[in-house]
Amino acid sequence: MTESPQTSQREENQRMIADMIREFAKHEIEPHKMEWDESQEFPIHVFKKLGELGLMGVLVPQEYGGSGFGYHEYVTAIIELGRVDGSIGLSMAAHNSLCTGHILQHASESQKAKYLPKLATGEWIGAWGLTEPNTGSDAGNMRTTAVKEGNEWVLNGAKNFITHGISGDVAVVIARTGEPGKSRNASAFIVERGTPGFSGGRKENKLGMRCSETAEMIFDNCRIPQENLIGEVGDGFVQSLKVLDGGRISIAALGCGIAQGAFDVSVQYSKEREQFGKPISSFQAISFKLADMATKLEAAKLLTYQSAELKMQGKPMTKESAMAKYYSSEVAVELGNEAVQIFGGYGYTKDYPAEKYYRDAKLCTIGEGTSEIQKLVISREVLK
């Protein structure tokens, strides 16, 4: 069976992106990642450089300053960043799939023309606000409200666990415009940093992903013009669910990247570390661990690229993306755990790389829908 020209071009793009990121990461990320992790510094300069490489607008058409690539290339980019530093992969994914993705999929032509060129080039960093202190998965009862006054909307409330909640230059915010618990009771708005009444709040002190900024966004009588409403009033949740379908692919890819990194260092260490006069990789206890890790990693990647393929074909992929996100994030945690075990006592120290993969991986089972929510989505699809 001969491959199509599109497939060979896509594979060439993926190779090019992987090589470019590996070279970039070797100089710009690897030497600094533990220092950023310890200090929780959000290295904005890295994302500006990623913007210059076209990685802050991977899916954005070239007419808006993006790279114009598809989901296969996007998955490859996240995997390659994630295998070096999950935090950088996470911030890049959140910027691309959530804020930029929401505007790309649902905004008007004038909104796209205004915001996408700045986001796609990394000139602006994007944030996306759905989660609140009291409403994680139960987003229908959110307390952040938007009330229409003349030709403006007045936002009041707070969002938390927001990637780039302090440093983001622009945010897409979902606010309640109807009664709590009712259908179609939320709408999406674009809010620029510097708008009076919009501020960043507390920054979270996290277990892992420590150089990806996670913080509150606070709205105190924040007035935004009518033209910053995305789509129609009441469309906020429908839009968000579509954005999260693609977002699940991002986190699936991130899980694959972290798992790949944990696997890579485990293989390398097992060949170098000697006990009883031979490398520990020659002991079945270790080699069988590596066999299990390799198999699960491959399965996670296949699920992830399958959902990317369905997304590109415009086919339904709610079930497949949920499966990819669920499986890959659980595999990332498992491989992070096994990496620490293979490194033994050294695995528990910050002088060796295993512990960071272990810490970073856990976020994948929580962010953009917990593993339990993915099971809910999958079971609903299966039982339809």
> Where in the sequence numbering do the catalytic residues fall?
368
- Residue whose structure tokens are 């039982």: 383
Give the CA-trace dihedral at 312, 317, 322, 325, to 10 degrees.
-10
Which tokens go with 2?
A: 């001969």
- Residue whose structure tokens are 């086919």: 315
- Residue whose structure tokens are 């229409």: 148
Within a 10 A sphere around the Cβ of 215, how many other Cβ atoms?
A: 22
DSSP 115-140: HHHHHHTTSS-EEEE---SS-SS-GG
Residues 94 and 117: their CA atoms lie apart, in Å, by 17
Which residues fall within 8 angstroms of residue 131, CB to CB, at 6 or more apart? 139, 159, 160, 161, 162
Within a 10 A sphere around the Cβ of 209, how many other Cβ atoms?
A: 29
100 backbone dihedrals φ, ψ, rounded to 5°: -65, -40
Coil, strand or helix: which one is 163? strand
Question: Which stretches within the chain are classed as H helix?
Answer: 5-28, 33-39, 44-52, 71-82, 86-94, 101-106, 109-120, 236-272, 284-312, 318-343, 354-361, 371-382
Angle formed by the axes of helices 236-272 and 71-82, to 10°? 50
Angle formed by the axes of helices 236-272 and 354-361, to 10°? 160
Question: Which stretches within 53-132 are classed as H helix?
Answer: 71-82, 86-94, 101-106, 109-120
